[in-house]
Structure 1
């Protein structure tokens, strides 16, 4: 068995409007994950875990013509599970199905990133994994983030951080950003990551929020 972590960039018909809201299109959502899904036959079902002002997202679901049914299950005032049933394009459905063929299994959750991408892990034979990566349409960007590793699914607080948040925290630790007295600034972290200072600060803030929420809310 092989384990691969990949990032996809769905666009056009491969990215339903609801997905676009989850992946950076709604600034009131701090984090969005697809916990489970069923695309075997229409209508399609999804289970999301959302953090942020999810009541605003609920109002958008009520107004969306693609949504046949939904239910929001609050966890806290800033986190919820959301079940959605609705219609997606055949292109979007085929993208999900591409990673369930043969021996392949997609390991939840699928992390919806702020830049429109999503990141997840798949396990299966090397042949089937290669076939799935090769089968990603040209309109959808695909990046191999990691190959191998002992962990299959996130099993710790750190595992709940997105790849970008984890990179930012690891870089901040290495540079001394969290030392007392502080030996590096947010600008130093940003320079090492190759991004804007505001972007680095956002990654660090979201990571801190996720860690504290995981430790004290659950």
Structure 2
């Protein structure tokens, strides 16, 4: 058996509106994870873990045409679990099912990254993992982040960062943004990433929050 950590970049019909809100489309959410799910038959059900001003997400659910039932279960002022049941487009359902065939097990949570991607681990035979990767539609980008390891979860805080967050931190370190005294500005980081200053700052802030939460076992 093998463990592989994968990042998918769904677009179009493979990225429903609510998913887009979870994966970087809602600035008030710091992080979002899909903790568990059942897409075996309609309606699909999901258990989410949200960090940020999650109460604003409730308004999104209230107005959504695809969310039939939902309930927010607060963990604290800025964290909650969210049970969500509703309709999922056939394309998105197929993408989920692609990683449940044969020996494959998808290990929760699925991290919804702020650049629209999602990252998760699967465990299974070499043949089934290769078939799943080959079965990803052309409209969905797929990146193998890691192969093997001693556990099925990310083994360090770095493994919890989205690709864009990791790129932002690597650029900031290389430029001297974290040097003492500081040798680069957030504008320098943004220029290196070819994005806006606000976007670069958001990537760094979310990466720093993820690392600190991991360090203090939150």
TM-score of the pair, normalised by structure 2: 0.85
Q: Distance in 1 between matches of 2:200 and 2:10?
A: 24
Shift of residue 140, structure 1, vs aligned partner: 2.1
Residues 138/158 of structure 1: CA separation in 2 closer, same or farther (3 Å cut): closer
What's the RMSD between the two structures over aligned residues? 2.5
User: Alpha-carbon deviations, 1:34-54, whole Å to 9, x = none?
Assistant: 111111222211111112221
Q: Name the residue aligned to 2:73.
A: 73
Whether contact under 8 Å (2:114, 2:162) holds in the other structure is no
Question: Which blocks of at least 5 consecutive residues in structure 1 are unaligned?
Answer: none
Q: Distance in 1 between matches of 2:73 and 2:209?
A: 21
Q: Distance in 1 between matches of 2:122 and 2:14?
A: 19
Confirm whether residue 36 of structure 1 aligns to residue 36 of structure 2: yes
Question: Which blocks of at least 5 consecutive residues in structure 2 are unaligned?
Answer: none
Shift of residue 135, structure 1, vs aligned partner: 0.9
Residues 85/114 of structure 1: CA separation in 2 closer, same or farther (3 Å cut): same
Shift of residue 93, structure 1, vs aligned partner: 1.2
Q: Name the residue aligned to 2:185.
A: 185
Shift of residue 22, structure 1, vs aligned partner: 1.2
Residues 211/141 of structure 1: CA separation in 2 closer, same or farther (3 Å cut): closer
Look up the SS of the partner of 1:138 in the other structure: coil
Shift of residue 55, structure 1, vs aligned partner: 1.0
Shift of residue 145, structure 1, vs aligned partner: 2.9
Confirm whether residue 12 of structure 1 aligns to residue 12 of structure 2: yes
Q: For residues 145-164 of structure 1, what are the structure 2 equivalents within 5 Å?
A: 145-154=145-154, 156-164=156-164
Deviates more, 1:80-89 or 1:147-156: 147-156
Q: Distance in 2 between matches of 1:77 and 1:192?
A: 35
TM-score of the pair, normalised by structure 1: 0.85
Whether contact under 8 Å (2:7, 2:120) holds in the other structure is yes
